[in-house]
Each structure stands twice: as structure tokens, then as C-alpha cells.
Structure 1
């Protein structure tokens, strides 16, 4: 595997690892600050807002300087921002830490996806799905080991491990991150939102793909528990099955895209995702719903990576700008839509919600031809 591919894959792994470590840290974070669930919700919102604010700024920086320098800078900021939020002595510092931590995580997301597009171009083959697979693997490792470290050694030990991991991976990959400085004519372009429709269409496709993903994350366990009568242990298997099949498919998705092309892969994936969610929504019992969520993970796995590759290969648009727009719109859906779904579910139940979400995948099925630029990068154009 070429060093440039290893380097960008490790950036995805590190980002997922830190995010995975954050999840088991939240209860202790809440207790340490002495806050209630409502205030914790605002802190988590500050994390999301920080991500969304940083994404377009990072896109502009990449259009000017290329993704290598930006990715290095944000990776350097990862450990200090982790320490700022986890060691916050008071609520105002915690809010600042959450905003900055979210900004670095979201900005890194744009930078590493942009660098992955450049690596795809240089290798003339797809790598985006496996990069997202490394993110999923990092999240799995982080959540598993983070909880273990917290339980046995405490928060300080967890933070030391994270800082060491950040510095070690950065040192190992510093010289291998692909240099993709933007052309001079792109640097002189005025900073503005894209005027052509295609980047916005790809952003809408990412939005439609990530709304169901966020819904499974936030609501699948409650659906199995409250509407299908599953135990606490069984209810957690819904998202576990979804995550497992997604991770496996992301590591196998690049050869599939190389073989069948981005548009056909996108369409087939959308249909599989829709069928899985329909199965889950109409499931008569928890095991059937778990199988449905597992099938949905198989389908969803490659949709967003293809959308990102397509956005990074649009003619006449710097990769950082296209990816930042698609990332911003996609993660907006993942951040805010689950709250709206909770309101709807309170009136009609979660089963009908999961059975209706596939309509979004039918929409992206119809828009799939707009993702053909993902193959341009693979072909070296």
C-alpha cells in the first residue's frame, strides 16, 4: 500500500478513534461539571455547531493551500482540543472546548476527505470507502478501549493515551501525507459559494443519505425496546449490526466501485439501504428488525463516500470547496434531523418513521447519475 494511502487512512482512523473515545467520556463529563441533561444537550449542540462553522472555512483554506497543510494543522490541534474539553474546570470553558473540539473534528473531516480524493486521483483507483472504513474501525476501537481505560484507570489515563496516539500517528505520517497544493489560478478565485447546481445536488444527496444514518444511531435501540419488546441487551444489537455491516462493506466497497462504476454502485446501494429500513420499520419482532438494520448498513456504507468523491472531482471547482459543501449539508442532516424525528415519532411511533425514511433513498436513486464525477477521479482525469 503506497505511503500516501496509508497516511490518509491513518488520519481517518485517528479521527474516528478520538470521536469513539468521546462517547464513553460523556457521563463523567456531565457529572464533573454538575450539569443536567438539558445543559449537556446544549454542550453537544455546541460541538455540532463548531463542526458546521469550521467546515466551509476549511474548504476555503484547502482551495488556497491544498489539503496537506490544513490536515497537518488540524491533526496537531486534535490533542489540545481534547484536553481543553475534558479538563474544563467550568461551564464557559466547557462550551468553548466543545465548540473548538467539534470544529477540529469537522474540519479534519473535510481535510482528510479532500486529501483522499487527491490520493484517488494519483492512484487512479477508488479508496474513499476504505478510508471511511478506517474511520468506523477507529470509532470501534476508541469506544471499546476508551470505556475500558475510564473504568480501570480513569480519565487522566485515557487522555494520556489519546495524546500519545495523536502525536505518534502524526509523527509517522507527517512526511507521507500527499502534497496537493491548489493551482495558482484557484488560489486567486474569490471566496464564494458554488454557483453551479451540481455541488448542491450532491450535497442534497449526502443529506438524504445521512438523515437515516443518524436516525438509526439515535433511535434504533429505543425502537426495539419500546415498540418490539426487546431487552436492553438485545436492543443495543440494532446499531451494532448496522455498524458492523457498514464497516465490512466500506472495506470492500472500493473494488466494487472500480468494477461497476460509481453510478451503478450508488443505485444498488440505495436500493439495499431502502429495503433494509423497510424491513426494520415493518418488522414483527426484534430479530427481523436487527436483520433489517444490518441490511441497511450494507447499503448505506458506500453512499456518502461516493458522494464525497464526486464532490471532490467536480470540474472547475476546488476539491476542498466541493467536499466542504457536501460535508456541511450531509452532517447538518445527521445533527438536526433526529430531533425532528423524535417529535414525529411521539405522534406516530418509530416503526412508521423507519418505514418512511427509505423514500429518501428512492430520491437519491433518481439522482444517482449526478455522482458520475466520482469515476473521473478514479480514471485520473
Structure 2
């Protein structure tokens, strides 16, 4: 039987909530599906990038240009998200950007020219980035209305989307299906399901402090900035696994190509599993302790990656690193979104903007340093990032009091 209850409206505190029905189970399911979409879309295009490259006859430099185009338009989307959400609401933004991202994905898959592929990557970049902000805003709204902690669960579905994309992409590539057909088969059912469930997305809310801030200016509180920088560090550490993990195993640890390909899959699976228990841990021990403890675990994992010569011990160390990093970003989004001083969309977009910026800057910087030294020494950057994240977590504990 569907669980339904009505939330009371308090004049001057909540905006546009005079009467709506909150469906705890269906709203949670809807958030889970929307969180799955960007992980699925991104994972699909990355898993079939060789097929896209062959179909459009792209060089390595043009592939780099496509990825840069997606990242650049992603930053534009992140910058414009708060204003658009403030104007039409995160519910509408979620539905529109899900369609835009899916259209961009399919455009990439069926294109045979450089210009068309670039347009597809641009659409994916702006669609996924705005989808990211809107879905995290909805996650914050769900936590408020349900009076529960669910952000780690939602981000687990993002990881699940990446895992599903990898598996589906592998099967379709083995079956020699074109990238375009692969993208339609994998994305259409989830896109249609998310649009069918959109009625269970939640309306915006604003506190009195948020209303006053929105009428004056959006001065980002120090607390939000610290959350954003920590998300940058966590995303960059995760990005180092996806960008350099396989290469590190095959070139430095002398693993086979097949073993090297397991790195990101194992990391993502552990991240998914850890996020399923992240919210109960937040409830039991508190948000800051979970971040601090996660930073310590991820640091230990990265030390193992750099120290062990055994390929299997390195894989286990990457898994430990994923275990520690898993609850950090979802918890930061949750804490930032419910700050009460600026709207949730402005807070989550600030965190997302910094996090995506980290992905654009840090992994390439590791490559630059590796070019001038070696990849093993370059990955010590990741240790520094995690150590800084731990230090900022201690600062965040003081700011949160």
C-alpha cells in the first residue's frame, strides 16, 4: 500500500508548498532513477568511445577536443543551473536536462562527422551538469521532507549507472552493435521511466534566511566553500583512478591489459556497495566523523597502491580507497544543500562546479607531472589531495558547530 502523508505549510518559511502530497517511497525511487541517469550516460559514451572514434574517423587529438568540449559546456551548465532552477524549479530542470543529455548521447552514437560529434558532446556536457545540480537539489529536498538521510543511497545509484553502462557497453560491443543502437537500447528505458515518475519530484522550499539572501546577493558562506573544495579533492582522487588506474597497473606494476581494465570496475562496485550503507553510518556516527574516517581509509588505500608491488594487492588497495571515498561527496552535497543561508540549488551548484573543475584540472596535471618524472611519483599528488581533504574536514567540524 502506497505510503502518503501531507506536509503542513508554514507561511513565510516554505515557498510553493501550500498543498502537495509527499510520497516517501515513490519520491525516493524517482530520485534514485534520476541519479542513475548521468552515471549511465557518461559510462555509455566512455565505454563505446573506440566505436565513436572509428565511426566518425576521429584522431586522438579530436577525441581530446570532444572531451574538453563536454567539460567546458558542463561548467557553463553548472554556472547557469541556480538561476534556471530558481526560475522554473528543479523538477522541470531535471526532466528537460535528462532529455538533452540523452539526445546528445544518441547524437554522438549516430554521427559520422566531427562537427556532429562535438555538438553531441556539448549537449551531453550541459545536460549532465545541470542534471547533476538539479538531482542533488532534489536529494536535499527529499532529506528535508522525509527527515531522513538518503544522499549516499542516491549517489550509489549514480555509481550503479556507471557499472550498468560498462556491462551493457561490453555486451553490445561483443555483439558488434553500433554505438548509436547501444545508446538507444541502454538509455531509452531509464529515460522513459524517469519521465514517467517526474510527478513524484518535490517542489522547492526556502527558509527565511534564503529568501533574504536571494533578494540581496548570493555571497557564498565559508562553510559552503569548504564543502566545495573538499568535493574537488574527492572528485580529483576518484578521477585519478578512472584516468590513470589502468595505465598505472599495466606500465608501473606490469599487470596484463585485462587485469588493468578491472581497476575502475572494482573501484566503482565497491563505491556503490559502500554508499548503500553510507546513510546509516551518517545517522549513527554523524556526518563529519564519516568524512574524517573516510579520508583516513582512502589515504591508507592510496598508500597501499603506491607501496605494494603485487598487482592483486594494488587492486585491493584501490578497492579500499573507493571504500573510504564513497560517502564523502554525497555527504558534502547533503550538508551544503541544507545550509539554510542560500538556496539548495546555489549551494549544490557551487559544490558541483568546484568538483567538476577538479576533474578538469587535477588528472591532466598528473599526466603533465608524469611526463616530466614518472607516473608513480606523479600519483603522490593524490596522497596530498586526500591529506588536505582530511585537514579541511577538521575545519568543517569547527564551522559546523
- The TM-score with structure 2 as length reference comes to 0.87
Deviations 1:165-197 (A, max 9, x none): 244213431211122255797499369553432
1:339 aligns with 2:364: yes
Q: Secondary structure of 1:2's partner?
A: helix
1:300 aligns with 2:308: no
Match of 2:379 in 1: 354
Deviations 1:243-266 (A, max 9, x none): 221111011111001110001111
Query: Cα offset for 1:148?
Result: 1.7
Q: Which moved more, 1:203-212 or 1:158-167?
A: 158-167
Gaps of 5+ in 2: 1-23
Match of 2:131 in 1: 108
How far, CA to CA, are the matches of 2:178 and 2:39 in structure 1?
Answer: 21
How far, CA to CA, are the matches of 2:273 and 2:394 in structure 1?
Answer: 25
Q: Secondary structure of 1:266's partner?
A: helix
Q: 1:327 aligns with which of 339, 352, 355?
A: 352
Deviations 1:303-342 (A, max 9, x none): 1111111111112110000110110111111122111101
Q: 1:97 aligns with which of 108, 113, 120?
A: 120
- Distance of aligned partners of 1:224 and 1:156 in 2 relative to their CA distance in 1, 3 Å threshold: closer
Match of 1:145 in 2: 168
Query: Cα offset for 1:5?
Result: 0.8
Q: Which moved more, 1:66-75 or 1:163-172?
A: 163-172
Q: Secondary structure of 1:357's partner?
A: helix
1:282 aligns with 2:298: no
1:172 aligns with 2:196: yes
1:209/1:304 contact within 8 Å kept: yes
- Distance of aligned partners of 1:35 and 1:171 in 2 relative to their CA distance in 1, 3 Å threshold: closer
- Distance of aligned partners of 1:373 and 1:131 in 2 relative to their CA distance in 1, 3 Å threshold: farther
Q: Secondary structure of 1:178's partner?
A: coil
1:202/1:370 contact within 8 Å kept: no
Query: Cα offset for 1:214?
Result: 0.7
Q: 1:83 aligns with which of 77, 93, 106?
A: 106
Match of 2:181 in 1: 157
Q: Which moved more, 1:112-121 or 1:168-177?
A: 168-177
- Distance of aligned partners of 1:191 and 1:278 in 2 relative to their CA distance in 1, 3 Å threshold: farther
How far, CA to CA, are the matches of 1:155 and 1:57 in structure 2?
Answer: 30
The 5 A counterparts of 1:208-287 are 208-287=233-312
Q: Secondary structure of 1:189's partner?
A: helix
Gaps of 5+ in 1: 377-381
1:312 aligns with 2:340: no
1:71 aligns with 2:82: no
- Distance of aligned partners of 1:61 and 1:345 in 2 relative to their CA distance in 1, 3 Å threshold: same
Query: Cα offset for 1:67?
Result: 1.6
- Distance of aligned partners of 1:227 and 1:89 in 2 relative to their CA distance in 1, 3 Å threshold: closer
Match of 1:40 in 2: 63
How far, CA to CA, are the matches of 1:11 and 1:63 in structure 2?
Answer: 19
1:116/1:128 contact within 8 Å kept: yes
Q: Secondary structure of 2:101's partner?
A: helix
Match of 1:29 in 2: 52
How far, CA to CA, are the matches of 1:158 and 1:357 in structure 2?
Answer: 34
2:228/2:350 contact within 8 Å kept: yes
How far, CA to CA, are the matches of 2:99 and 2:211 in structure 1?
Answer: 26
1:122 aligns with 2:145: yes
How far, CA to CA, are the matches of 2:89 and 2:318 in structure 1?
Answer: 38
How far, CA to CA, are the matches of 1:121 and 1:242 in structure 2?
Answer: 30
Q: How many residues align?
A: 376
Match of 2:14 in 1: none
- Distance of aligned partners of 1:328 and 1:191 in 2 relative to their CA distance in 1, 3 Å threshold: farther
Q: With a CA cutoff of 8 Å and minimum separation of 6, indicate the structure with the bigger relative contact order.
A: 1
